[in-house]
Structures are given as C-alpha cells and as structure tokens.
Amino acid sequence: MWLARVLVPVVVIGGWQLFTATGIVDKFFFGQPSGVWHSLVHLFQHGTAFGSIWLNLWVTIKEALYGFLLGTAAGILLGLLLGQNRFLADVIGPYIKILNSIPRIILGAIFIVAFGLGTFPKVLLAAVLVFFIVFFNAFQGVREVDPNLVANVKVLGASPLQVARHVTIPSALTWIIASLHTAFGFAIIGALVAEVLGAQHGIGLLISQAQGQFDMNTVFACMTITSVVTLVAEYLITLLERRVLAWRPPSRAEAASI
C-alpha cells in the first residue's frame, strides 16, 4: 500500500517533468516540476518584489485566520440562536438563503473598492465564505438535538440557558467541528482571491503578478506553499476535534478511513 502511495506522485510529477522536458507539453504554459522547485528556492532565498516570502505568507495566513475566526464566531452564534428560536429562524432564514445564493467571490471586488487594499477586505471576504458553512452546520446541529436529552435536563430543573449549556451546544459541537475542516480551506480561498483582486502583500498578490509575467512556475510554487499551510491547519483542527469530541464512540467508518 505504501509503495503504491509513493508511486502516485512519482508517476504524476515524473510524467509532468518528462513531457515538458521532451517538449510534448509546453513548459511555458504548464510549468515544469524542476522549475517550480527553483521558483520555490528562489522565493525563500531572495524574497519577492513585495518583501520576503515569509512576510507575504504571514499576511495571507493572518487574513485567513482572522477571517476564519470571525466567520466561525458569527456562524456559531447565529446558528445556535436561529436553531433554538423558531420565530427568528422563520424571519431571518429566507434572507440567509438569499445571501447564500450570491456568488460570494464577487463580494471581494466590492470589499476591495469599499475598504481599500489593506487587510480588512480580505478578512471580510474570508469571513463571509466561512460564515455560511459554519452557520448551516451549527443550525442543523441544534435542530438535531435529541429531544429526550432536552426533556431530561428540563426535568432536572434546567433553565433555558442551562439547556443550551448542557445539551444544545455540546450536541451541536459535533456538527460545528466537522464544518471547520472545510471552513479553513475556504478562509484561505477568501484571502487569496481578495489578494488577487488587489493587495499590497500576500500570496495572492504574488500569484497575480506571476500570472501577469507568464511565470507559471511561481504560480505553482505559491500553490504548493498554500497547500502546506492548509494541510497544517487541517492537522491542527483534527487535533482539536479529537480533544473536544473525545467522548464519541469510534465509528467504523472513521476507523477505516484515512
């Protein structure tokens, strides 16, 4: 199994290198693995036109992280609130659906124009992308609460706030945490897209510059860097999930998965 697993990237990257080296595929348009590697080394050794790669990476991570936190907080808060309050859900629910149907990437253009080239519009776009994912999960999580548990804790004398603390929130947490995996990916996308649309620093800016100069190798290099960041974040979220959801029985599907 491990051998086959190692073989996959060897074949893909090796094939890519082979085809571009022999000229069957034009490396001008599709880049070349060795060129991507050189670009990576260059980025880390000589920096970029907009400061060191670390500075740019940090800017992007910061934007994505703030956006992630903001969107998650808003999503959880509103999800819990609407999930528990049928009246609010009936009033606000349709509007959230309408907003959700907007192609949100386009909002980036508006945010850049409205709030300039700084950090804020990137954070905002990332937060908007994250919000809907977390919101729908939190909302559903609250709706799926076992009514038996609610009845039980009520009989034991819980106030509505205590019902939320002891039953609704822990129960919805399973759903919320599951959504965070996807949400962080979207936070990165939001930050990158907003940077492509207009920025002073950031990986997205590097990508759009490299694209302007037909430097595909650098585009691929930036892509690799962001993938690593997302993978690390994914790992951290998995750690958090294990910690918070330690009570869950190990499911058969999980044991068999990656």
161 binds another protein (CB under 8 A): no
Work out how close the CB of 18 gets to another protein at its nearest, in angstroms, rounded to a whole number. Answer: 52
String of contacts with another protein for each residue 119-158, x by CB under 8 A = ---------------------------x-xx-xxxxxxxx
Q: HEC states along the chain? A: CHHHHHHHHHHHHHHHHHHHHHCCCCHHHHCCHHHHHHHHHHHHHHCECCECHHHHHHHHHHHHHHHHHHHHHHHHHHHHHHHHCHHHHHHHHHHHHHHHHCCCHHHHHHHHHHHCCCCHHHHHHHHHHHHHHHHHHHHHHHHCCCHHHHHHHHHCCCCHHHHHHHHHHHHHHHHHHHHHHHHHHHHHHHHHHHHHHCCCCCHHHHHHHHHHCCCHHHHHHHHHHHHHHHHHHHHHHHHHHHHHCCCCCCCHHHHHCC
Q: In whole angstroms, how close is the CB of 167 to another protein at the nearest point?
A: 7
In the bound state with another protein, the residue whose beta carbon lies nearer, of 85 and 159, is 159
Residue 69 vs 149, nearer CB to another protein: 149
- Tell me whether residue 119 or residue 168 sits nearer to another protein (CB atom): 168
CB of 158 to another protein, least distance (A): 5
Binding residue (CB under 8 A) for another protein from 162, 228, 235, 236: 162
Q: Does 166 bind another protein (CB under 8 A)?
A: yes
Q: Per CB under 8 A, does 181 bind another protein?
A: no
Binding site for another protein (CB under 8 A): 146, 148-149, 151-158, 162, 166-167, 170-171, 173, 245, 247-249
